[in-house]
Structure 1
Amino acid sequence: MSLDQVGDATITKRRSRVSSLDRHIHGWSWQSFPIGMGTGAVFVTLSGLKEHPSWLTSVETGFWSLNMAIFLLNVVTLSIQALEFPHRAWSLLQDPVEGLFPPMMVLSFATIIIGTVNYAVVNGPASPNVVYVLFWIYVGLSLATCFPMLMIWFNQPHDILRFTPGYAFLVFPLMLTGVVAFNILRVMDPLDSRALGVLFVGYFFQGMSWILHDLLLSWYISVATGFMEGHQANSAFVACGPPGFTALSLINLADHASAILPAHGIISNTAGDIWYAASVMAALLLYGLAVFFFFLGIIPYWFKLHKRLDQILACWALTFPNVGWISTTGVLGKILNVQGLFIVHIVMDTLLFLTWLVLIVLTAKAIWKGLIFNAKDEDVLKDSIFSVNEKFTADNHSDAGTLV
């Protein structure tokens, strides 16, 4: 029997077997992880509010739990897809658009670690040793994800006219190392020698990825790029991430450095205070850049966006890239004693929550209507045929080897 006959027989046999579950598994993509990141953005920003009643902590814990559930759903679904439809899984990694989103899995894991620190260590039974181990797992995952994808990306030329800030996703996990690091240091003893490693690794990767992001984003503000059109209008907000998260990391890492460095006799007794003072100034400069990028994205947004429900996943970029500068707003308010910044922080947190609410409803509606995460029957059958043909070829080789 020929391969074509096997394929025809498979179509006849499996046409009635393409269930709704098969279509959803085949249609799932790495763009599902920004949903969890947007959910994590809510509790991360709310946790930084100056006024923090106990009921708000309960709300944040609920969002953290939902974030973990979404993360597990995505990991399990994509794993099943890789087993059942390996050609589909491989094509997603090679796609010029979808291929930018695998690092989002690592970023989603970062929000889970931050939530674990806030709600399972600070206010719960977990040990600081747990999140210390999670920190190094995060660093390992970031390196294992970012560097291979960067090698693939740099292996071919790119047209500057088609550049979007979304390319910054390739290094985003490394950039959040500083954010994860200062959250871990919150529950570690400054006298612990392991705190030095977390501090310096946080600085190392934060600086490296921030500068690389700035070099990439310099293309975005060039005249050739201009305002983003259609679903790419959402990626304009990705530009807020590097300066915003770096500002947040510099202040908080330096805050811990002011206690850790003198405790271990590193550099000098005043090194920590000098780092802190310099970091506040640098953070203020970066904060201004992040706010600029935010308004550069929000002013033309409604006029450039294509209002299509099947492109709703791209709209989740309205949430997580803005977490850095929004959280920095509250931190600078405390340091500089500017009451207006506290008001801005509350307003932006409220708007972020409302944005999440609208997006989660529209995303659920898009899934219900089959506009996203839903493949066509013929696509499911086609990829299934590929799997059967590979097995058929392997069996033939095996039989030939046996005859020999």
Structure 2
Amino acid sequence: MLDKNQHEASTRNRNMESKDDSEVRLLDRFTWANFTCTQSTGGVAILLSETHHQFRGLQTAGVVVFILNLVLFVLFTTAMICRFVQRPSSFRKSITKPPEAYFTGSLWLSMATIIICMQRFGVPHTGPWIIVTIRVLFWTYAAITLTYNIFIFVVMFALSPLKPGTMSPPMFLMIYNAMLTGTVASAIAAGQPLSQRMAIIVAGVGFQGLGWILCLLFLPLFVGNMLINGLGPANQRPGLFISVGSSGYTIVALIGCARAIPDGYGYFAKHPTASETLNVVALWIGIFLWLFAFWLFAIALVAHLPILISKYCNNNKNNMSQQQMNFTLPWWAIIFPNVGFTIGTIYIGEELDSNAIAWVGTVMTVLVFAAWLMDLFLHLKSIFQRRIM
């Protein structure tokens, strides 16, 4: 009888240990790449507030998506903290070893969308304190992203130098957090006091320049990688959309900062024509970049046609195609870069007073929102089916 009780106790202990090990292994598979979900969800909330053709309830929908994003961000951050507490050595590996290290930028991009959403949805319903809070968060975010961009590139140069033909689309995430500093500036500057606005605009344009120039260095590597290695595995191919954000968010930042210029204050009091000149320059630079963004978007879109044709027209290869197109976290690249492209299109339409372009932006908004719902469903389905984590 005693032996039987001891055996049962030993079995329970082994089961508990096995369960604990399973939980640890589960957290080990929870990586920075999950924040591509929150950066995209926050981007969709911003897009709903920016789309030209508004209707009753759309802003409320944006608030709901924003709150969902906050909940997801807290859950993901808690999961990452638990992972690093249980396995401290995994923290160093996660920020120094590709490809996970590339996705560390998604954490800061998620924070950028939260700051913009605070401006869009929080300021109209709260007191002056939130304006000060947003300003403090902006400068903190700018300092962190500049430090991060210095650190992450030194790490990549020293520990993981890039070989010819090995450019990975998630590498753009290391740059976009600095670029989004310019986008955040364009979103919040108009709501700040005149004494603070100029500094935010100047910083935003400067950070946007840093992000755009780094993207210019990466884009030839990105295209060269496709020339050498092709379009990549089918289930990773949605990651090709990530390059679209380089031009899209530059358009948003330049036009947004130009709109926020304070007339008759400081520099613009001494140069009264500078405000109108910069608005014109920002618009036409945006138009100059828009077709390039569309070209990158079209390449990523057309790259999926052979897969779709193989899936729906070739019965003999149907099962294989289905397996190749299983959801992976890079599928969130369908959303976030195209949010910038869509908002940039909306801004150009508004500046040109073009109803046709405004409707194009509205259609793009609907498509991005539909893609977001698809990714959200597939992400949850993949978790329940244990195909990720």
Structure 1 CA distance for aligned equivalents of residues 292 and 322 of structure 2: 28
Deviation at 1:311, TM superposition (A): 4.3
Q: Aligned residues: percent identity?
A: 25
- 8 Å contact from structure 2 (residues 105, 173) kept in 1: yes
Deviation at 1:136, TM superposition (A): 1.0
Deviates more, 1:58-67 or 1:88-97: 88-97
What amino acid does structure 1 have at the position aligned with 2:291?
G
Q: In the superposition, relative to structure 1, how do residues 307 and 344 fare at CA in structure 2: closer, same or farther (>3 Å)?
A: farther
Instruction: Give the alignment partner of residue 369 of structure 2, picking from 321, 335, 353.
Output: 353
Q: Which has the higher contact order (CA 8 A, sep 6+)?
A: 1
- After TM superposition, the score normalised by the length of structure 1 is 0.83
Deviation at 1:26, TM superposition (A): 2.7
Note if 1:187 corresponds to 2:203: no
Query: Which residue does 1:161 correspond to in 2?
Result: 165
Query: Which residue does 1:368 correspond to in 2?
Result: 384
Q: In the superposition, relative to structure 1, how do residues 294 and 307 fare at CA in structure 2: closer, same or farther (>3 Å)?
A: farther
1:234-253 superposed matches below 5 A: 234-253=238-257
- 8 Å contact from structure 1 (residues 161, 224) kept in 2: yes
Give 3-state SS (helix, strand or coil) of 2:231's partner.
coil
Structure 2 CA distance for aligned equivalents of residues 235 and 200 of structure 1: 32
Query: Which residue does 1:175 correspond to in 2?
Result: 179
Deviation at 1:224, TM superposition (A): 2.9
Deviation at 1:248, TM superposition (A): 1.1
Q: In the superposition, relative to structure 1, how do residues 154 and 23 fare at CA in structure 2: closer, same or farther (>3 Å)?
A: closer
What amino acid does structure 2 have at the position aligned with 1:295?
A
Note if 1:138 corresponds to 2:137: no
Structure 2 CA distance for aligned equivalents of residues 180 and 353 of structure 1: 21
Structure 2 CA distance for aligned equivalents of residues 300 and 135 of structure 1: 37
Query: Which residue does 1:283 correspond to in 2?
Result: 286
Deviation at 1:146, TM superposition (A): 2.0
What amino acid does structure 1 have at the position aligned with 2:248?
G
Query: Which residue does 2:154 correspond to in 1?
Result: 151
Structure 1 CA distance for aligned equivalents of residues 192 and 181 of structure 2: 16
Instruction: Give the alignment partner of residue 318 of structure 1, picking from 319, 331, 334.
Output: 334
- 8 Å contact from structure 1 (residues 35, 316) kept in 2: yes
- 8 Å contact from structure 2 (residues 24, 86) kept in 1: no
Deviation at 1:20, TM superposition (A): 5.7
Aligned residue pairs, count: 359
- 8 Å contact from structure 1 (residues 228, 304) kept in 2: no
Structure 2 CA distance for aligned equivalents of residues 31 and 40 of structure 1: 15
Structure 2 CA distance for aligned equivalents of residues 211 and 229 of structure 1: 28
Query: Which residue does 1:43 correspond to in 2?
Result: 45
Note if 1:298 corresponds to 2:301: yes
Cα deviation, 1:141-193, whole Å, max 9, x if unaligned, reads 2123222111111224322212133211111100011110011113113xx22
Q: In the superposition, relative to structure 1, how do residues 92 and 230 fare at CA in structure 2: closer, same or farther (>3 Å)?
A: farther
- 8 Å contact from structure 1 (residues 312, 359) kept in 2: no
Deviates more, 1:105-114 or 1:15-24: 15-24
Structure 1 CA distance for aligned equivalents of residues 241 and 219 of structure 2: 12
Query: Which residue does 1:74 correspond to in 2?
Result: 76
Unaligned stretches of 5+ residues in structure 2 = 1-12, 309-320
Query: Which residue does 1:264 correspond to in 2?
Result: 266
Deviation at 1:69, TM superposition (A): 0.8
Give 3-state SS (helix, strand or coil) of 2:206's partner.
helix
Query: Which residue does 2:28 correspond to in 1?
Result: 26
Cα deviation, 1:237-265, whole Å, max 9, x if unaligned, reads 111011110011111111112x25x3113
What amino acid does structure 2 have at the position aligned with 1:28?
F
